[in-house]
Amino acid sequence: MNLLIKNADLYAPAHRGRNDILVCSGIVAAIAENLDTSALPFPCEILDAGGMRVVPGFIDGHVHITGGGGEGGFGTRTPELSISDTIRSGVTTVVGVLGTDGVTRSVENLVAKTYAIREAGLSAWCLTGSYRLPLVTVTGDVCKDIMMVEPIIGIGEVAVSDHRSSKPSVEELARIAAEARVAGMLSGKAGIVNVHMGDAPAGFAPLEAVVAAGDLPRTQFLPTHCSRNRQVFEQALRWAGAGGWVDFTASGTASGSRRSDGELSAARAIIALLEKGLSLARATLSSDGQGSLPVFDESGRLRGLTVGSCASLGQALREMVRDFGLPLEEALVPLTLSPARAFQFSRKGRLEVNSDADAVVLDAELRPSSVIARGRILVRFGKLEYRDAFVGGDSSE
């Protein structure tokens, strides 16, 4: 399918001004002012952005696509990811993870859901394992999972410094990181280890101990929930300052819930990182979509649970730009370029010739108006064009 996006105020994510974007077979073929389709030897669908901002599709690197939660009993297991809601949020690439529950949630189901997301037109990959060690896998071997199961690109989320973890030793963490690294090298994948950072005082200490040995780089790990409290956040800044990845969770404070006292919103965390003189090149945002989030009253008492959402990425983007005055081209980096680099998605995270044609047209309020994934229009000026497989609506699975 061929598509021409006309009159785009292009953020690639660097601001390039008014441009047209030609898409052929899901790939950006040309970017220029006033592209003339009359000279093209093939028909071309036209989407006129009307001067609205067109940005790369958002990459959500931490989503419980088969559902998460369950810490409050079987009745608190959250539902699977709604593909329609994901599309509406402007997310065009998803990385699926398990979480606390590696018993009733399986990696096999995770892989199947990954394929379902792909069939809907989005890009999707997943990680093997869960919070606990030994890791749950498809093949019985971490290296085989990464090398031989195409959608699996790494390990995670493995919990450290958390009461729900299996208390992995430094040696165990180093071993799985080394296995993921070798498997990634052999298969051309990221081989990254996504690490759930808990509230315990040890914080980043287990990861610091692993990299202190000198044979594994900090970039082997992608620590997440790095703004969950002030102590973890300060450790995360030191980790990033030394060259490591840090991931801030967008679902949480923005939706009225919180994980712990002192949690920073993802937007505030990004601003604080910049205020410390650190680069956005190692910072990513993810939603923790379909994860369970506690909601507290003013006295700090638990009122109930809500569910993380991919839409929180857009909320964080708007908060960075509107509330903190961050230029849009900078605010886009942790949603686009940085996660593409962390997961080694070589054709994602930007809009340029030969990149995947994943794009979001933002309205004046910086909300997704149209969404294009791999060159296919899935939302056209607010109207969802994707249809779920089952009758009964277009917003749930």
CA dist 60 and 126 (Å) reads 11
- What CATH number is attached to the domain comprising 62? 3.20.20.140
Closest CA to 26 of 109, 112, 129, 123: 123
Residue 288 annotated to the active site: yes
Look at residue 219 in the predicted model and tell me its pLDDT: 98
Q: Which residues contact 275 (CB under 8 A, 6 or more apart)?
A: none
Q: Are residues 141 and 153 in the same domain?
A: yes
Q: Are residues 284 and 331 in the same domain?
A: yes
* Total number of domains constituting the chain: 2
Q: Are residues 201 and 144 in the same domain?
A: yes
Angstrom distances, CA of residue 43 to CA of 1, 32, 40, 128, 273: 9, 19, 7, 42, 47
Angstrom distances, CA of residue 30 to CA of 106, 356, 357, 361: 42, 12, 11, 18
Q: Which residues contact 238 (CB under 8 A, 6 or more apart)?
A: 204
Output 396 or 351, whichever has higher pLDDT. 351
Closest CA to 114 of 76, 145, 90: 145
Run of H or E including 372: strand 368-373
The label of the residue with tokens 């794009």 reads 359
Paired residues of 289 in beta bridges = 63
Tokens representing 341 are 């680099």
Q: Evaluate whether residue 396 is within a structural domain.
A: no
Look at residue 302 in the predicted model and tell me its pLDDT: 62
Q: Are residues 355 and 214 in the same domain?
A: no
Q: Are residues 266 and 369 in the same domain?
A: no
Q: Evaluate whether residue 228 is within a structural domain.
A: yes
Find the range with the poorest average confidence among 139-143, 222-226, 393-397: 393-397
Angstrom distances, CA of residue 137 to CA of 108, 129, 141, 185: 8, 6, 7, 19
Q: Evaluate whether residue 392 is within a structural domain.
A: no
Q: Evaluate whether residue 359 is within a structural domain.
A: yes
Look at residue 301 in the predicted model and tell me its pLDDT: 66
Q: Evaluate whether residue 289 is within a structural domain.
A: yes
Q: What is the pLDDT of residues 279-293, one digit of tens each?
A: 999 999 999 999 988
Mean pLDDT of the chain: 93
- DSSP letters along 41-100, please? SS--EEEE-TT-EEEEPEEEEEE-TT--B-TT-GGGBPPPPPHHHHHHTTEEEEEE---S
Q: Are residues 303 and 188 in the same domain?
A: yes
Run of H or E including 273: helix 266-275
Q: Are residues 233 and 206 in the same domain?
A: yes
Q: Evaluate whether residue 391 is within a structural domain.
A: no
Tokens representing 94 are 């998803």
Q: Evaluate whether residue 287 is within a structural domain.
A: yes
Give the number of C-alpha atoms closer than 13 A to the C-alpha of residue 238, restricted to the C-beta side: 10
> Which structural domain range is residue 229 located in?
57-342
Boundary of a domain, candidates 322, 342, 362: 342
Q: Are residues 195 and 330 in the same domain?
A: yes
Residue 125 pLDDT > 90: yes
Q: Are residues 165 and 17 in the same domain?
A: no
Q: Are residues 171 and 131 in the same domain?
A: yes
Active-site residue among 247, 288, 356, 358?
288
Q: What is the pLDDT of residues 223-273, one digit of tens each?
A: 999 999 999 999 999 999 999 999 999 997 433 344 456 889 999 999 999
Q: Are residues 81 and 152 in the same domain?
A: yes
- What CATH number is attached to the domain comprising 39? 2.30.40.10
Q: What is the pLDDT of residues 183-227, one digit of tens each?
A: 999 999 999 999 999 999 999 999 999 999 999 999 999 999 999
Please state, for a pLDDT cut of 90, what percent of the chain lies above it.
85
Q: Evaluate whether residue 389 is within a structural domain.
A: no
Look at residue 132 in the predicted model and tell me its pLDDT: 96
What's the DSSP call for residue 119? H
Q: Which residues contact 189 (CB under 8 A, 6 or more apart)?
A: 146, 152, 153, 154, 183, 344
Look at residue 353 in the predicted model and tell me its pLDDT: 98
